[in-house]
A and B are shown apart, each in its own frame.
Chain A
């Protein structure tokens, strides 16, 4: 009995089955020479009537014969074979394709798994990170933009994005997933110059590139119809990105020169990301250094690659105490060690620069915080801390002079005491909670290394999402009215 089909190589499930269920070839008509079973007898020359019985075929079954009826595969009669009875040479192509496809699928599965589980994100080069980020912004692709932002800085931005887009969609200002379809921006010829500032930090300057903006008044949302009224015709304009952004930079000069716009990139876990915080601080430093306000030392960009032992607190009160100690010590690096590493890493190069400026100016702090009464609320791996009561006194020394002040926080009221003893109390009146949803002073802690640290980004995001979520519709409408008036200077904006 042949154990495999001579036509396609499919296995023969039982001796009773005479035709291959896969390709229909009679099992005993074509010999599977390549699989080590005896060759079948030579076929008879082109029989007029196909012969299905072979010497190995069982005797026909008859009812009452005392044997069980043999089972056959009736499921796919159309697949049953050609009836010529001629032996067909076995084709290995199917097997080759099948095995090749299986190997390719296993390899591709490994690649996908590695890309998803093992490989980190980010871009391979700082230039690719910036180019991808700029393209994502132009294309209004929030996923691509977020994927290229330093993860420590991007955490929580999705909360703000979700809150803002929900509110704006509710008010009919945006539709779909694009910020607006009325402006279609495209860029071309982007060229960058990479300045490797340190092992894991780079500044990427945009040295060339053009942009085109196409305006379609028909796509302007109804709530911004004043824009379409003011600009009723479609138009398109273009320009040089480097010039148009460069002239807007703070340290552009009046003698016909402007700096090249740039973004900072940082390497995290092998991948390069755009650092928005790093970019801001780099601009700030460049500005200060340009105008030579202080004799600032150059940043030590390799400090961003150093391993730093985080300073954590076991309780929210400890965290506040650690921060106060760091500020009083005047050690900027200590202060940064109290904050989440992935957020402040890009600031560390400037720590010594800032410390030098503080020393040169003779600046020092003497802060104390007493009578803390804090309320905590767990939120995943974060803790939202509300300050119910606190007594704060702060002294600032600078070039021999010293200023002192104190503040007492009690719920939503803050009482300030000046050096001469004058006191003033400011409370969040009902309008502020109603309008902004803010009714207390609070900050967010992040769990890290068995303790807690103040998370400035999470705190800012907490305030931002609260304001966006809680602001009444009238506040958004008022803001649009202001934008309208600012754009067209007409009273009808307030109608």
Chain B
């Protein structure tokens, strides 16, 4: 069953990389198809917020929120080489935050209308799907290894 894990690991890593790449790339493309951020990217919004050009409409800390998703993408993508429960748990926690941010943006920018989701919105959703697939693959791989007779605690103690 180690073979199962061996073959699954690169696939899992690639899925995490895909998720990270999606969450970084969404910064550079329009997020919706109509209305706010339909022809501007999140990056344009971040620049505007940082320049205080829209401080009456958007508070300054919003730039940090807008940058959270790409930051999560960088952390998730850059950490695929790190193994162990802490790294994996961290990636899952970051994924949950990314999903929460996506939901906020979906409601706030696209008025909860799937038809208004633009390339950036779909990329972010795609990243979440890739991350979910990575977690699932890992879980299935473990179960496969466990089901094939991994050593028991007593065996290890011996």
Contact = CB atoms under 8 A, between A and B. Distances in A.
Contacts of A52: 151, 155-156, 158
A121 to B, nearest CB: 5
A101 B38 contact: no
A7 interface: yes
A108 B145 CA distance: 35
A98 B80 contact: yes
A127 B157 CA distance: 72
B156 A93 contact: no
A424 B151 CA distance: 102
Contacts of A99: 81
B158 A60 contact: yes
Given A98-B13, A116-B47, A176 B111 contact: yes
B9 A108 contact: no
Contacts of A161: 56-57
Contact of B55 (A95, A136, A158): A158
B83 A22 contact: yes
Given A8-B83, A75-B85, A101-B78, A83 B151 contact: yes
Contacts of A93: 10
DSSP class of B's interface residues: helix, strand, loop or mixed?
Answer: helix
Interface string B68-94: 001001110111111111000000000
A78 interface: yes
Nearest to B78: A105
A141 B35 contact: yes
Contacts of A97: 10, 13-14, 17, 80-81
B2 A98 contact: no
Nearest to B157: A72
B67 interface: yes
Contacts of A81: 1-2, 145, 150-151
Interface stretch (A144-152, A276-284, A308-316): A144-152
Interface in A154-188: 154-155, 157-159, 161-163, 176-178, 184
B125 to A, nearest CB: 20
Given A22-B83, A24-B145, A82 B3 contact: yes
A139 B56 CA distance: 21
A132 B44 CA distance: 12
Given A83-B151, A139-B34, A23 B54 contact: no
A116 B68 CA distance: 13
A86 to B, nearest CB: 9
Interface string A126-146: 000000100110011111101
A158 B56 CA distance: 6
Interface string A68-80: 0000101111111
Contact of A147 (B9, B40, B143): B40
In the complex, which range does the number of interface residues on chain A fall in?
35 or more
A105 B77 contact: yes
A151 B77 contact: no
A478 interface: no
A178 B34 contact: yes
Contact of B6 (A23, A74, A157): A23
Interface string B28-68: 10000011111110011111101111111100000000010
B148 A82 contact: yes
Contacts, number: 209
A383 to B, nearest CB: 17
A132 B39 CA distance: 7
Contacts of A18: 156
B117 interface: no
A73 to B, nearest CB: 8
Contacts of A415: none
A115 B63 CA distance: 13
A80 B151 contact: yes
B74 A94 contact: no
Contacts of B9: 8, 23, 94
A249 interface: no
B20 interface: yes
B157 to A, nearest CB: 7
A140 B35 contact: yes
A106 B2 contact: no
A10 B46 CA distance: 39
Contact of B53 (A95, A136, A158): A158
Interface in A81-96: 81-84, 88, 91, 93-95
A29 to B, nearest CB: 10
B135 interface: no
B24 interface: yes
Contacts of A141: 35-40
A143 B45 contact: yes
Contact of A116 (B3, B67, B73, B149): B67
A453 interface: no
Contact of B150 (A24, A106, A184): A24
Interface in B130-158: 142-143, 145-146, 148-153, 155-158
B27 interface: yes
Contacts of A84: 2
A22 B145 CA distance: 12
B151 A25 contact: no
A148 to B, nearest CB: 8
Contact of B3 (A88, A109, A158): A88
- The 3 A-B residue pairs with the shortest CB-CB distance in the complex, in nearest-first order: A98-B81, A105-B78, A144-B40
13 contacts: A50-B151, A76-B142, A78-B146, A79-B150, A80-B156, A82-B148, A104-B17, A121-B47, A147-B47, A162-B57, A176-B111, A177-B35, A177-B111
